[in-house]
A and B are shown apart, each in its own frame.
Chain A
Amino acid sequence: MGRQWGPAMRAAEQAGCVVSAFRAGQPEAGSWSCSGVILSRRPGLVLCHGGIFTPFLRAGSGALTAAGAAFLPGDSCGDDLRLHVQWGPTAASPAGRAERGRTGLCTPHC
């Protein structure tokens, strides 16, 4: 990867995360997940895709196409919505520094 990509790779590594949505007490019902971007760490603000929330909308997916709707408050989704955000070690964290240069990559057989 060329030198020009260094800042972009660092930014991506620090900001990338994965978001999971599921129903409280119903893990067997499955979860919905997508990628996301950590906008800030204190407080932790994350922007992700809205598609994973469609099954949780109280008014159904039609709420997304309601005339003029530019945003919907968080309580548009049911109370049983639970969210998890997962990310890798940041460059600023001790864990991230400790792992730098380690060759632990693997390629599972197809």
Chain B
Amino acid sequence: AGLEPSPPARPRGRPLRPPRPAELLLLLSCPAFRAHFARLFGGEAAEQWHFANAAPDDEVSEDEEEDQLRALGWFALLRVRPGHGEEAEERGPAVAVAPLGAVPKGAPLMACGSPFGAFCPDIFLNTLSRGVLSNSAGPLLLTDARCLPGTEGGGVFAARPAGALVALVAAPLCWKAREWVGLTLLCAAAPLLRAARAALGRLHPGATALAALLPPEMGAPWGLPLRDPGPPWATAAVLVECSTVWGSGVAVAPRLVVTCRHVAPREATRVLVRSTTPKSAMIWGHVVFATQETSPYDIAVVSLDEDLDGIPMPVPAEHFHEGEAVTVVGFGVFGQTCGPSVTTGILSAVVQVDDTPVMLQTTCAVHGGSSGGPLFSTGSGELLGIVASNTRDNNTGATYPHLNFSIPITVLQPALQKYSQTGDLGGLRELDRATEPVRVVWRLQRPLAEALRSKL
């Protein structure tokens, strides 16, 4: 790390062990991880993705970036050389390893790594970061726990099964189309250790004995339900495709999906809605209502030809609490190549006009393709709003996924209910007649007429 040396580092209060020599037993990769990586991040869009330890604008040679990409899915098994007289106090429980698939999407995770690697371990060793399992494709996992360069190889642990090692950090940072995605790429631990056992078995006899000492995967004897279904709202988002445009949506009734106008802009247009869980389904529908371009509320309503089965219908919230834990579910980043991603944060602001919430802001990571997806209260599971956009600075072109805007469900619910019950679009048409103060909010302007225009 090229960090400036700061004032002399002082210990965190826990004396570190002196570094111990170790030997490299083998380098290994998980073939399934590499295959899923190639599917998700390769192909035509490969050039859009960057996983380097530096921001896309930083100077990193092509060779260096190529080396980092080649090594991304590789891990190393080391043996620490025993020290003198330390063995007695070096006992400790072996790491418990979660089987692949035991942790559901949306489940809480804790990443533990040392930012900047060996730089200043007194300060940085074993720094913790919390998030959830945002998405998965086989052993390729994504979390929204914030990780930094140097945490590659760090462990990611589950709250349930308690303290189980779920994965190792493969790439702490990634960018798509020069935008920081805010997700950390992980490789599941269980298949990695399976690969290690197989590899050790093919080396010399001494190495074979080591294979038996690798921690086994947790099994039924631990007495924990291994197939936690996860929070029901983690499956609530649907993919909405309208011609060449796609985005997210949420089913508010078995045949009614809410999405954004910029995903499904024209009324009567045919739309394809896909759900991924509990089973993959494709259902055609048509746009029955889309707000006008002049409306600050970027909303469209799709009526489906058939019922969407198996998707839990969300309970709309009636109140919003700034600071409460929230979750966004959407098809951002990967679209239909992967199921919906789950990202978490807090409700950072509730903007009101005349004491009525008209805009919600969150700290969840929201990416292109998440528009129209649901925003939930993590605690109650209630539907808080519909994601409309994240933030872009038009002067610099920078996008900020962790500042995003949602339309409060309280704005939509009466009209949706009326339409559901009577087929009357009158309530939805009212969204085109939002007052000027609401329009000002969604234009990110100050309410005063003489205020400067926002750059955003």
Contacts A99-B15, A104-B11: A73 and B26 contacting too (C-beta < 8 A)? yes
**Cα separation A82 to B21 with both chains bound (whole Å):** 7
Contacts A53-B76, A70-B29: A8 and B71 contacting too (C-beta < 8 A)? no
B126 contacts partner chain A, Cβ-Cβ < 8 Å: yes
**Cα separation A96 to B92 with both chains bound (whole Å):** 12
Contact A16 B125, beta carbon cutoff 8 Å: yes
**Cα separation A35 to B170 with both chains bound (whole Å):** 11
Instruction: Name the residue on B nearest A93 (C-beta).
Output: B89
**Cα separation A95 to B15 with both chains bound (whole Å):** 8
Query: Chain B residues with Cβ under 8 A from A45's Cβ?
Result: 77-80, 210, 213-214
B426 contacts partner chain A, Cβ-Cβ < 8 Å: no
- Could you tell me the distance in whole angstroms from the C-beta of B182 to the nearest C-beta in chain A? 19
**Cα separation A16 to B111 with both chains bound (whole Å):** 10
Contact A83 B159, beta carbon cutoff 8 Å: no
Q: Give the interface residue-count category, chain A.
A: 35 or more
Contact A85 B15, beta carbon cutoff 8 Å: no
Query: Chain A residues with Cβ under 8 A from B90's Cβ?
Result: 41-42, 44, 90, 92-93
**Cα separation A41 to B83 with both chains bound (whole Å):** 11
B62 contacts partner chain A, Cβ-Cβ < 8 Å: no
Contact A16 B9, beta carbon cutoff 8 Å: no
Q: Give the interface residue-count category, chain B.
A: 35 or more
Chain A 72-105 interface residues, beta-carbon cutoff 8 Å to B: 72-74, 76-77, 81-96, 99, 102-105
Contacts A8-B159, A92-B92: A54 and B80 contacting too (C-beta < 8 A)? no
Contact B94 A71, beta carbon cutoff 8 Å: no
**Cα separation A36 to B25 with both chains bound (whole Å):** 14
Contact A19 B78, beta carbon cutoff 8 Å: yes
Contact B128 A43, beta carbon cutoff 8 Å: no
**Cα separation A69 to B90 with both chains bound (whole Å):** 34
A18's partner among B31, B66, B121, B210 (CB-CB below 8 A) is B121
**Cα separation A86 to B203 with both chains bound (whole Å):** 27
Q: 1/0 per position for B1-45, CB-CB distance to A under 8 A?
A: 000001101111111111111111111110100000000000000
- Could you tell me the distance in whole angstroms from the C-beta of A37 to the nearest C-beta in chain B? 4
On B, residues with C-beta under 8 Å from A are 6-7, 9-29, 31, 66-68, 70-72, 74-82, 87, 89-96, 108, 110, 112-114, 117-119, 121, 123, 125-126, 128, 130, 150-155, 157-160, 162-165, 168-170, 189, 192-193, 195-196, 198-199, 202-203, 210, 213-215
Sampled A-B contacts (18; CB under 8 Å): A8-B158, A11-B164, A12-B112, A15-B165, A18-B118, A31-B118, A35-B169, A37-B189, A39-B95, A45-B213, A50-B28, A64-B27, A74-B26, A74-B27, A84-B22, A85-B78, A86-B19, A92-B90
On A, residues with C-beta under 8 Å from B are 4-20, 31-54, 61-62, 64-65, 69-74, 76-77, 81-96, 99, 102-106, 108-109
Interface pairs A-B: 10 shortest CB-CB: A104-B13, A44-B80, A33-B117, A50-B74, A49-B153, A7-B163, A12-B112, A35-B154, A11-B163, A33-B118
